[in-house]
Structure 1
Amino acid sequence: MKLAFSSNAYLKHPFDETAARIAAVGYDGLELLADVPHAWPAGLLEGPKRAIREAMAKNHLAFSNINAFMMNAVADHRQPYWHPSFLEPDPSYRRVRIDHTRRALDLCAELGAPHITTEPAGPIPPGMSRAQAVDLFVEILKPLAEHAAKLGILLLIEPEPELLLERTDQYVEIHERVDSPALGLNFDVGHAFCMSEDLPKAVAALAPLTRHYHLEDIAATRVHHHMIPGDGVIDFAEVVSAIKATGYDGWLTVELYPFQDDPDVAAKRAYDVLKPLIG
């Protein structure tokens, strides 16, 4: 397995500096934020794309993932990460999320990254039943998964508290109904802990569908707030051991976006906890 760090903790730094800082800590990979200020796909010209490739090569980093979950560039007043969602009542506004996801897939293929991650449909809007929300999400995902397949990359869904898919096992229905080899699960360990999932059991059960992991710690309250590994109560030795037991040999990406004021310290402390466990 390989350890990466997400650039979404470095929103106050340009990408070339971000890559250099992440590499200096010792990480082998970087998760690129498909958003401002690093790589908003809708406005990313060839020059900035070339600069991203050059920064990655200069710092001997590989892409672990393209994070298309966040949409800070839209600056929706309700929540800058979840909205616009795939379940927006206004079809035109919903289209903003769909088009962003398609552009992120294109960017992923251009940069040679393995996959993108996106939200699990967003919050269920008032007046929409859960069944209706699932049906809508499935129909939206089908052409996106088809596009990912044509590009030779993966589209990964990340369950999260308060959204349509909160638990990792809720992803299974979506996977079966979309029925595409280009669709997979992004298993966020912290999110699963927030939902009181038994982490080793969930890791084992979802292993056939999991294509990438996000790591962050969570407090004993199980409130959804990303913490540096070692500061919360998640047993990462147990989690990493469970992941190893599945035969997974891909990326484990640390995601600590709340630590924008001092991302270097957060990245280093997380690395010091996790690297010995990975080997």
Structure 2
Amino acid sequence: MRFGFSMNAFRQYELREGIEALSEIGYDGIEILLDEPHLFPGTATDEDIEQVLTWLDEADLTISNCNAFMLSAIEPSTESKAAEYNRDTEDFHHPSFVEPAAHDRQARIEHTKNALETAAALGAHSISIPPGGPVAKGISRNVALEAFLEGLREVAKTAERVGVDVLVEPEPLLLIETSDDFLELMDRIDSPRVRCNFDAGHFYSVGEDPIELVETLGPYTPHYHLEDIPADRRHEHTQLGEGAMDIDGFLEAVEATGYDGFVTVELYPYGETAKEAADGAMQYLEAHGWV
């Protein structure tokens, strides 16, 4: 089991700065943000990709995953912006796979296909994507699920062609929230390239025990996200050891499966103090004997 850190906390930094910082702190891996301001698949050139690969080689860092979940480079249409939601949503969720407007749904699909191509060029094994998205008022869950399945089947073709996994990441307040939601989705998707980005904090936030889910979702999981979550289980990514999750128990459960891939720490709300957050997480992992 190896540890990475997600660059979505480093959006106020140049990509090279983030790479160098994580190398100095001692991480083995890095989750590349496939969005502005780092490496947006819609504009990234072959030269850009080669430059990133050079930086990673110099820093001795391996790509743990490519984050195609967050999306700020594409503005949703006026129609989707005008939609109302039953719950608060973050700007980077839009445009989603389940937007009211078909052209916005297609924009997310095309971005995901481009992200898969970019990940393949980087030599990455996977990208993570949102589990549908927030569902607008007036749209039933069944209608939203069908829209998500339609988009997922389209991007799965690209995933199979380029040999990169597309990892659905269940998240509170979005279409696919729970482990049961995810397993239902798997029953309706026939592609070996569609799998799970297991975010421990997300499952904890929806009232599940991520430790118990390690065995259940293990066959679908080639990559994990880790953060702490407050005791009231609100979806707020918190520094390791500063919330209520049993971080060590979770890592013990993952280790017991023989998993030898990456656990990526994801602390995107710490944008003002990204280096300090990455260092603090590493200090926790070192103090608890994980690295």
Distance 1:34 1:19 in 2: 14
Matches within 5 A, 1:105-184: 105-184=116-195
Q: Does structure 2 retain, via aligned residues, the 8 Å contact 1:236–1:274?
A: no
- The alignment covers a number of residue pairs equal to 279
Q: Does structure 2 retain, via aligned residues, the 8 Å contact 1:68–1:116?
A: yes
Q: Does structure 2 retain, via aligned residues, the 8 Å contact 1:74–1:80?
A: no
Q: Residue 79 of structure 1 corresponds to which residue in structure 2?
A: 90
Q: Residue 50 of structure 2 corresponds to which residue in structure 1?
A: 50
Q: Give the alignment partner of residue 217 of structure 1, picking from 190, 214, 228.
A: 228
Q: Unaligned 5+ residue runs, structure 2?
A: 82-88
Q: Residue 200 of structure 2 corresponds to which residue in structure 1?
A: 189
Report deviation, 1:277.
Answer: 4.2
Distance 2:228 2:155 in 1: 31
Report deviation, 1:95.
Answer: 1.0
Report deviation, 1:274.
Answer: 2.2
Distance 2:60 2:3 in 1: 13
Distance 1:230 1:16 in 2: 28
Report deviation, 1:75.
Answer: 5.0
TM-align CA RMSD? 1.3
TM score, norm. by length of structure 2: 0.92
Report deviation, 1:37.
Answer: 0.7
Distance 1:75 1:94 in 2: 12
Distance 2:114 2:142 in 1: 28
What are the superposed Cα offsets for residues 30-81 of structure 1, whole Å, 9 maximum, x if unpaired?
Answer: 0000011101110112222121111100100000000000112125566322
Q: Does structure 1 retain, via aligned residues, the 8 Å contact 2:109–2:154?
A: no
Matches within 5 A, 1:228-243: 228-243=239-254
TM score, norm. by length of structure 1: 0.96
SS in structure 2 opposite 1:252? strand
What are the superposed Cα offsets for residues 185-243 of structure 1, whole Å, 9 maximum, x if unpaired?
Answer: 00101111101101211112111111210001111111111111011111111000111
Report deviation, 1:168.
Answer: 2.5
Q: Residue 13 of structure 1 corresponds to which residue in structure 2?
A: 13
Q: Does structure 2 retain, via aligned residues, the 8 Å contact 1:31–1:63?
A: yes
What are the superposed Cα offsets for residues 155-201 of structure 1, whole Å, 9 maximum, x if unpaired?
Answer: 00000000001112311111121111101000101111101101211
Structure 1 position 261 matched with structure 2 position 286:
no
Q: Unaligned 5+ residue runs, structure 1?
A: none
SS in structure 2 opposite 1:207? helix
Report deviation, 1:97.
Answer: 0.5
Q: Residue 278 of structure 1 corresponds to which residue in structure 2?
A: 290
Q: Residue 88 of structure 1 corresponds to which residue in structure 2?
A: 99
Whichever residue aligns with residue 210 of structure 1, its letter is T
Q: Does structure 2 retain, via aligned residues, the 8 Å contact 1:240–1:277?
A: no
Q: Residue 208 of structure 1 corresponds to which residue in structure 2?
A: 219
Whichever residue aligns with residue 247 of structure 2, its letter is F
Q: Residue 84 of structure 2 corresponds to which residue in structure 1?
A: none
Distance 2:285 2:223 in 1: 16
> Which shifted more, 74-83 or 42-51?
74-83
